[in-house]
C-alpha cells in the first residue's frame, strides 16, 4: 500500500497563520482545525459535542471547520442548538492555495471520521507540525501515534475526543517536532519513488 504523498514544502511549521487568525477573529484563542467535506461520514457530530468539555477545561478554544458539503445546514443547526455559536466557526469553501495558512493558524487538528482510507488532511496537519486528535479507526492510527504526534480516541466517544483534543493542546510544543518528522516519510517524492520501485519490480 503506497499512500498519496504530502508536500512538506507547502505544509510546514514555519508558515505564518496570522492572516487567517485575524480574518476569523481568532487572536488569543486556541484553534482546533478540521478540514474536509462536511458530510455524514466525517462524523463532525462527535467533534461538535466534544466542544463544551474542551472549552470548560480550556476557555477561548475555537473549533474551525473548513470545507463545505451536504451536512452544513444540519451542523449549523446543531451548533446553534448546543449554544456553541461563538465556539465553532464554519469557513465554507477555502481555496487549495490558502490551506497551508489554515493549518499554520491552528494549534491542533481534530478528525473523528470513520471513513478514512488514508486521510490526506492528517498528513497535511502533521507536516505542518500540528498534533492530531484522531479517531482510532481505519487509516488514521497508521499515522497518528498516541502520545507522540497526537492522541487517539474511539470515533463515537465524545468525552474521549475532548480529552484527546486537550492532550494535543497541552503537549503541542513537544509534539510539534515528532508530528513533522512522522509526515516526512510520506512526502510526494518518497511515495513516488516507492511507486516506481513497484513498477520496476
Residue-wise pLDDT for 175-190, tens only, equals: 999 999 999 999 999 9
pLDDT of residue 24: 98
Distance of CA 70 to the CA centre of its chain: 20
The C-alpha atoms of residue 137 and residue 154 are separated, in whole angstroms, by 7
Q: What is the pLDDT of residues 117-145, one digit of tens each?
A: 899 999 999 999 999 999 999 999 999 99
Q: Is this structure's pTM higher than 0.85?
A: yes
Pairing of β 61-66 and β 150-153: unpaired
pLDDT of residue 170: 98
pLDDT of residue 175: 98
The C-alpha atoms of residue 58 and residue 62 are separated, in whole angstroms, by 10
The C-alpha atoms of residue 32 and residue 168 are separated, in whole angstroms, by 10
The C-alpha atoms of residue 2 and residue 187 are separated, in whole angstroms, by 11
Pairing of β 108-111 and β 88-92: unpaired
Q: What is the pLDDT of residues 54-109, one digit of tens each?
A: 999 999 999 999 999 999 999 999 999 999 999 999 999 999 999 999 999 999 99
pLDDT of residue 194: 96
Confidence of residue 28 (pLDDT cuts 50, 70, 90): very high
Amino acid at each position: 500500500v503506497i499512500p498519496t504523498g504530502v508536500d512538506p514544502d507547502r505544509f510546514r511549521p514555519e508558515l505564518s497563520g496570522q492572516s487567517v487568525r485575524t480574518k476569523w477573529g481568532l487572536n488569543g484563542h486556541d484553534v482546533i482545525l478540521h478540514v474536509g467535506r462536511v458530510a455524514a461520514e466525517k462524523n463532525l457530530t462527535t467533534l461538535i459535542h466534544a466542544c463544551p468539555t474542551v472549552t470548560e477545561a480550556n476557555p477561548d478554544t475555537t473549533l474551525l471547520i473548513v470545507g463545505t458539503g451536504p451536512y452544513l445546514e444540519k451542523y449549523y443547526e446543531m451548533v446553534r442548538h448546543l449554544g456553541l455559536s461563538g465556539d465553532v466557526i464554519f469557513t465554507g469553501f477555502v481555496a487549495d492555495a490558502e490551506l497551508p495558512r489554515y493549518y499554520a493558524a491552528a494549534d491542533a487538528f481534530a478528525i473523528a471520521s470513520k471513513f478514512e482510507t488514508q486521510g490526506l488532511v492528517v498528513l497535511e496537519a502533521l507536516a505542518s507540525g500540528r498534533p492530531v486528535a484522531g479517531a482510532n479507526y481505519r487509516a488514521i492510527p497508521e499515522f497518528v501515534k498516541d502520545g507522540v504526534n497526537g492522541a487517539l480516541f474511539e470515533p463515537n466517544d465524545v468525552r474521549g475526543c475532548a480529552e484527546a483534543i486537550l492532550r494535543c493542546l497541552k503537549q503541542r510544543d513537544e509534539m510539534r517536532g515528532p508530528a513533522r518528522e512522522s509526515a516526512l516519510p510520506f512526502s510526494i517524492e518518497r511515495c513516488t519513488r516507492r511507486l516506481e520501485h513497484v513498477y520496476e519490480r
